[in-house]
Amino acid sequence: MIELNGVCKSYTRGSETLVVLDHLDLHVDRKSFCALMGPSGSGKSTLLNLVGGLDHADAGTVQVAGHTLDTMTDGELARFRSEQVGFVFQGFNLIPVLTAYQNVELPLLLSPLSRKRRREHAEYALELVGLKDRLRHRPGQLSGGQEQRVAIARALVTDPALILADEPTGDLDRESADQVLTLLLRLNQELEKTILMVTHDARAAEHAGQVIQLDKGRLLEEGLETPA
Amino acid sequence: MALVPLSYNLRSLLVRRSATLLTVLGIGATVAVVSGVLALQQGFERLFAESGREDLLVVLRKGATDEGGSVITRAQADTLVKSSTEIAVDPNGRPEASLESYLAVRRPKLDGGETNVPIRGVQQATFRIRGERLKIVEGRRFEMGADEVMVGRKLIGRIQDCGLGQVIVFNTTPFRVVGVFDYDGPFSSEIWGDVDRFAEALERKVYNRAILKLAPGVTVEQFSRHLEDDLQLPSDVLTERDFLMGQTRALSNMLLFLGGVLGLIMGIAAIFTATNTMLAALAARTHEIGILLSIGFRPITIFCSFLFEAILLCLLGGLVGCLITLPLHGIETGTINYQTFTEVAFAFQVTPRVLLVAISFSTLLGLLGGAWPAWRAARLAPTVALRRH
Amino acid sequence: MIKVPLRLVVKNLLRHPVRSILTVLSLAVAVFLLCLLRSLVVSLDAGVREARSDRLIVQSAVSLFVYIPQSYDTKIRQVEGVEDVCSWTWFGGYYQEQSNFFAQFAVDSDRLLSMYPEMVLVEGSEADFLADRRGCLIGDQLASAYGFKLGDSIPIIGSLFPRTDGGTWDFQVKGIYTSTSSNVDRKTLFFHYKYLQESRDTGAASGPSNVAVFVVRLMDGARPEEVMARIDALFENGPQRVQTTTEAAFQAQFVSMVGNIPLFVSSLGGGVFLAILLAVINTMLMAAREQVQDSGIMKALGFTNLSVFLVLLLQSLLLALAGGGLGILAALGVADSIAEMIGSQFPGFAVTGETVLLAATLSIVIGLVAGLTPGLRLGRLNVAQSMRAEV
């Protein structure tokens, strides 16, 4: 599903150049649930952004879901994102002026689906995450855990093969975090979604079948636990 | 009571640089427009008002709104000058009174189109009365009895045929331009000649007004009564100053009205802009306000701080507006004074009054624009303000 | 095809209703002002534009205020190409106070209405007017401004022609007219020249003799320039030289006298436009700042840079159209009242379709320009950065 070879990425801030990813190689199989861990500054989020086509690598090849991302234009990447990837972020990143339903529906506006079909998909996604009764609520009226679940519903709604989650439980209390992780596990096992999750929470990593450690822009080891 | 430091406001304005800049420019444009109109009005008013003499009287036919409409016949004029002991007399025994005619004559402009130029027929006595203030800038004074004229300085470069040596034809009679004169006030937009020669050429054998000085101890009321009762010449008698002020009233008021309307309308828009800017500032600083409140600053302090910032913002705008308007000072322009229907040239005058109005206006804008956001800022509950969203 | 979620455009505008309303209102106010200013300038030309090509004006060559002999009437009639002649004489009086300004003319009344087909009587009749030597015709706007009605007696104080007994001239309203073109003012009072002449002759009043201008109607097919030249030549040697012009040129002389005013008003308009543009840019920059995160999300979801740019631009356009529309409607609403107020100085004041179009175009331009920079900024932002951005 995901294949990275010799990927390099650095950022320049002022006069300093920071090397974030240093000749990184990565291989993630289809239908796996991977946790990406490492100390802060190790490049986890950057790696996720590259996989999701949100950013360009300075060197190396990035192949995701059969697409070679490093040679794609911005327009092609946008299309790639809308069809192949679902994002879940730490800060929920819902659009505050839209209702839960409207937020979930948003990615579908990029597809040729009719209004009726969009409604079906969006309501189904919200049902999956257990929030069908909160359709009309705005993000401001939802709790942290509920907001994150809406974000997951939005990530699902276009039925992408890959879900990328960046610290999805970071801002949540214990109970909500467990709810979210259970949900992600379900998506992986029942709906066969490939999930790549960045986290620094060891307990969150336990839910994943595979753990990848990053340090100073390089992979440390690969955990070889078999899926439960 | 602790006050929120000034530097806080200044820093806030600098941090939100683009919003500050845009608001300042917008208010600057508003103030510039209003000041510009005011400067025009001041220029016009000053031209007339400051040149009017208090010791000289103007006599017009009663009810006449301007010189052109006032008529004094030859017979009446003779009686007026010869039999009035109320008129002052100069060392040589000659009465200090002169009769003049006034007509707005159509002349082509140098840059195309036509306009009305006043021609004034004067007697010898006018020169005595006007004295040193009347300066010949080029050439010489016209000769009484000759078909000659002298033109006011401001007509040069605006009106055709006004150069030295050129000839202007009035009706069927040619008049040669023999001099250029200057006199502060509206006279320098006029053409002067011998009243009798003009009367012949134009077949208008009447005078339009008399100018005179009263003998010591005689009041205007006494003289007025004398004219009405003794001479059967009901008249309006005014000082030259009052007369000139009256001549400007219509246009002056129109310009003031225009300035007022513009100020009102553009001011409303400017207030909206200022409110918007301050509301955005409030939204960005909600957290800081929460901290200030929790430290112990009082809501009234917060209110004053915001209001002050709004006023500061608008004052900066006002300053910019003044800077834009200042270069206008002294620029000459001309228009028709539609009270007399004659062209008059004057310059923009950015007087202290204009600047004062600009500054007051800006302050008012700041006050009105900042009031509501300041009030909202003061009403923030610390717990709400400190909450992270 | 570009996908732009319109819902987002509207919702973002409603996010800060106060700000949006204030921006719309200030735009409305500015556009309102611009419409009125332009209409003012346009109205200066109205008289010229609508002038008739079959009428000439004969005036003194020297000055509008020099009167020409009434006896010229016979001579002008005999000029080839002239069909009819009617004299007009400015009366220059006022009603009650000097500030009550409206025009009064003494005319050859039996020919007035035939020379001016634009004048249509809405009340009273020409016959009644002609029958009463003190009769007068008044414009409908004059009637409504002062509440004059058919049959009323209007006392006018003569300043140019004062009555020897110090009293007023009393004219009897025998007809009320309206005008079908902005060429003829609707606030004028017309009365019989014969009455003026008679009053002077009997000593009941004093004032300049003769008439101010002659209005000449051309025969069909007559060439204006030729007739003008012939009339001028007639009186080349006096006693009063004349200058004959077309009616359009006559009106134009008043406009050109006004000189710099159109320029002045345009500068004002420019200042107003600039001020309001800055205000809207300010609003859109604020909005853009708030929508940085949303833009990032949208791009992450797969919306293109162009869609994100358009979302901001459309907000700007909507505000501009709403404000501009409101301003135009307001200007149209007060146009008639203003026309009545300033009708004497600016006859033909009206908010024309051209002005409306110009105002609408300006609003759209403001919307586009104000949304451009903020929109581009959002469109170009790197996705990762924008989602981490602190507002």
How many angstroms separate the CA atoms of B195 and C5, rounded? 81
- Domain closes at, from C240, C274, C297: C240
Q: Is residue A36 part of a domain?
A: yes
From its phi and psi, is residue A41 left (phi > 0), alpha (psi between -120 and 50) or beta? left
Categorize the per-residue pLDDT at B144 as very low, low, confident or very high, splitting at 50, 70 and 90. Answer: very high
Would an 8 Å CB–CB cutoff place C196 in contact with chain A?
Answer: no
Per-residue DSSP letters for A103-122?
Answer: HHHGGGGGS---HHHHHHHH
> Does A12 reside within a domain?
no
CA atoms C197, C199, C203, C205: torsion sign: negative
| Cβ–Cβ contact C203 with B under 8 A | no
Q: Which amino acid is at A224?
A: L
Tell me which chain A residues have a C-beta less than 8 angstroms from the C-beta of C11: 97-98
User: Any CB–CB contact under 8 A between C26 and chain B?
Assistant: yes
In angstroms, the separation between the Cα of residue A147 and the nearest Cα of chain C is 15
Sequence-ordered list of residues with C-beta below 8 angstroms from that of B15, at least 6 positions apart, any chain: none
Q: Give the total number of structural domains in chain C.
A: 2
Same domain, C21 and C158: no
Whether C259 and B341 lie within 8 Å, measured CB to CB: no
pLDDT at residue C390, rounded to an integer? 41
- C-alpha torsion A173→A175→A179→A184, nearest 10: 50
Separation CA C379–CA B333 (nearest Å): 48
> Are C125 and C201 found together in one domain?
yes
Residue C248 inside a domain? The answer is no
**Residues C69, C14: one domain?**
no
Confidence band (pLDDT; 50, 70, 90) for B389? very low
Q: How many residues does chain A have?
A: 228
Q: Which residues of A touch C8 (CB under 8 A)?
A: 95, 97-98
- Higher pLDDT residue, A224 or B355? B355
Closest CA to C340 of C191, C116, C158, C143: C143
ipTM of the complex, rounded to two decimals: 0.72
Positions of chain A with pLDDT under 50: 224-228
* Structural contact between residues B181 and B132, judged by C-beta atoms closer than 8 angstroms: no
For residue B73, the 8-state DSSP code is: -
Domain span at residue C193 reads 62-240
Burial class (CB in 10 A: 0-12, 13-18, 19+), B127: middle
Of A206, A133, A122, give the one whose Cα is nearest residue A169.
A206
Which residues partner with A69 through β-bridges? none
Sheet holding A59-64, edge to edge: A16-28, A2-13, A59-64, A67-68
Nearest CA among C32, C92, C30 for reference residue C328: C32
- Residue B270 has what pLDDT? 87
CA–CA distance, A49 with C287 (Å, rounded to integer) = 27
In a domain, A116, yes or no: yes
Same domain? For C104 and C226 the reply is yes
Whole-prediction pTM: 0.74
Nearest Cβ partner for C272 among B18, B23, B266 = B266
Query: So what's the pLDDT on residue B34?
Result: 92
Task: Please answer yes or no on whether C272 and B33 come within 8 Å at the CB atom.
Answer: yes
Cα–Cα nearest to C309, from C379, C227, C252, C371: C379
Instruction: Kindly tell me if the per-residue pLDDT of B385 is higher than 80.
Output: no
User: Count of CB contacts below 8 A, B vs C?
Assistant: 167
Helix (H) or strand (E) holding A127: helix A115-128
Alpha-carbon distances, residue C24 vs B25, C38, C189, C280 (angstroms)? 19, 21, 44, 9
Average pLDDT over residues C280-293: 87
B180 has a pLDDT exceeding 90: yes
- Asked whether residue C269 is domain-assigned, the answer is yes
Q: Which two tokens stand for residue C378?
A: 């959002």
pLDDT tens digit sequence for B252-268: 888 888 888 888 888 88
| Tokens standing for residue C296 | 């990032």
Q: Does any CB of chain A come closer than 8 Å to the CB of residue C389?
A: no
Rounded CA gap, C102 and C95, in Å? 8
- CA dihedral defined by B253, B259, B261, B266, rounded to 10 degrees? 180
**Residue of chain C with shortest Cα separation from A53:** C300
Residue C391 has a pLDDT of: 34
pLDDT one-digit tens code per residue, C120-140:
999 888 999 999 999 999 998
| Chain B residues 56-75 with a CB less than 8 Å from chain C | 61-65, 68-69, 71
pLDDT in tens, C313-362: 999 999 999 999 999 999 999 988 887 777 666 667 888 888 999 999 99
SS3 state of residue B321: helix
Q: Do residues C327 and C351 both lie within one domain?
A: yes
Six token digits for residue A21? 């990813």
- End-of-domain residue from the set C240, C268, C287: C240
Residue C188 lies in a domain: yes
Helix (H, G, I), strand (E, B) or coil at A24: strand
The whole-angstrom separation of Cα B225 and Cα B40 is 39
C109 shares its domain with C148:
yes
Residue corresponding to tokens 């990762």: C384
- Spatial distance between the Cα atoms of B316 and B314, rounded to a whole number of angstroms: 5
C111 phi/psi in degrees, rounded to 5 = -110, -5
State residue C368's pLDDT score. Answer: 95
Burial state string for B211-240 with b = 16 or more CB within 10 A and e = fewer than 16: bbbbeeebeeeebbebbeeeeebebbbbbb
pLDDT at B338 over 90: no
What was the pLDDT predicted at C329? 95
List the single range of A170-174, A216-220, C40-44, C284-288 with lowest mean pLDDT. A216-220
Q: Taking CB atoms and an 8 Å limit, are B63 and C22 in contact across chains?
A: no
Residue B312, SS3 per DSSP? helix
Same domain, C225 and C269: no
**Within a domain: A2:** no
Other CB atoms within 10 Å distance of the CB of residue B388? 4
pLDDT, position B100? 93
Segment B72-90, tens digit of pLDDT? 888 888 888 877 788 888 8
Query: How far, in Å, are B124, B249, C118, C161 from residue B70 at the CA level?
Result: 21, 18, 34, 10
Could you tell me how far CA A75 lies from the centroid of its own chain? 20
Residues C384 and C290 in one domain: yes
b/e code C179-188 from CB counts within 10 Å (16+ = b): bebbbbbbbb
pLDDT digits (tens, 9 = 90+) for C243-260: 998 888 887 777 666 666
Q: Which two tokens stand for residue C353?
A: 């379709």
Q: Do B269 and C241 touch (CB under 8 A)?
A: no
Neighbours of C45 (CB within 10 A): 15
Separation of CA B100 from chain center: 26
CA–CA distance, A156 with B256 (Å, rounded to integer): 67
User: Are residues C213 and C75 part of one domain?
Assistant: yes
What's the token pair of residue C310? 């358009």
| DSSP bridge partners of B238 | B58
Instruction: Specify the CATH number for the domain of residue A199.
Output: 3.40.50.300
Do A95 and C297 count as a contact with CB atoms less than 8 A apart? yes
Q: Which residue of B has its CA nearest to C238?
A: B172
Is the pLDDT score of B358 beyond 90?
yes
Instruction: Tell me if A6 is assigned to some domain.
Output: no
Touching partners of A (3+ C-beta pairs < 8 Å): C
Q: What share of chain A is helix, strand, coil (3-state, %, to 5)?
A: 40, 30, 35
Burial class (CB within 10 angstroms; exposed 0-12, middle 13-18, buried 19+) of C225: exposed
Q: How many CB atoms lie within 10 A of CB C114?
A: 13
User: Mind spelling out the 3-state secondary structure of chain C?
Assistant: CCCCCHHHHHHHHHHCHHHHHHHHHHHHHHHHHHHHHHHHHHHHHHHHHCCCCCEEEEEECCCCCCCECCCHHHHHHCCCCEEEEEEEEECCEECCCCCCCCCEEEECHHHHHHHCCCEEEEEECHHHHHHCCCEEEEEHHHHHHHCCCCCCEEEEEECCCCECCCCCEEEEEEEEEEECCCCCCCCCEEEEHHHHHHHHHCCCECCCCCECEEEEEECCCCCHHHHHHHHHHHCCCCCCCEEEEEHHHHHHHHHHHCCCHHHHHHHHHHHHHHHHHHHHHHHHHHHHHHCHHHHHHHHHHCCCHHHHHHHHHHHHHHHHHHHHHHHHHHHHHHHHHHHHHHCCCCCCCCCCHHHHHHHHHHHHHHHHHHHHHHHHHHHHCCHHHHHHCCC
Are residues C128 and C94 both part of a single domain? Answer: yes
Where is pLDDT greater, at A26 or B3? A26
Pick B293 or C335 by higher pLDDT: C335
Question: How many whole angstroms separate alpha carbon B118 and alpha carbon C83?
Answer: 35
Instruction: Return the closest-CA partner of residue C344 out of C105, C130, C38.
Output: C105
Parallel/antiparallel/unpaired status of strands B97-108 and A33-37 = unpaired
**Between vectors from CA C227 to CA C224 and to CA C233, what angle results, nearest 5°?**
140
Any domain includes A11: no
| Residue range(s) defining the domain that contains residue A114 | 32-54+80-222
Q: Is the peptide bond before A139 cis (omega within 30 degrees of 0)?
A: no
Is the CB of residue A55 less than 8 Å away from at least one CB of chain C? yes
Kindly report the nearest CA distance between residue A28 and chain C, in angstroms: 21
Look over chain C and give the mean of its residue pLDDT values, rounded to a whole number: 86
Rounded Cα gap, residues C352 and B220, in angstroms: 53
**pLDDT on residue C315:** 94
What would the mean pLDDT of B19-44 be, rounded to a whole number?
90
Helix axes B6-15, B17-49, angle to 10 degrees: 100
Quick one: how far is CA B157 from the chain centroid? 22
Q: Which candidate from A79, A81, A97 shows the least CB-CB separation from C300?
A: A81
How many structural domains compose chain A?
1
Is residue C271 domain-shared with residue C201, that is, in the same domain?
Answer: no
Contacts of B204 in chain C (CB under 8 A): 66
**Which residue among C26, C259, C267 places its CB closest to the CB of B334?**
C259
pLDDT at C194 over 60: yes
The radius of gyration of chain B's CA atoms, rounded to the nearest angstrom, is 30
- Confidence band, pLDDT 50/70/90 cuts, at residue C269: confident
Cβ–Cβ < 8 Å for B350, B39? yes
Q: Using 50, 70 and 90 to split pLDDT, how confident is the model at C1?
A: low
Cα dihedral C254, C257, C261, C263 in deg (nearest 10): 110
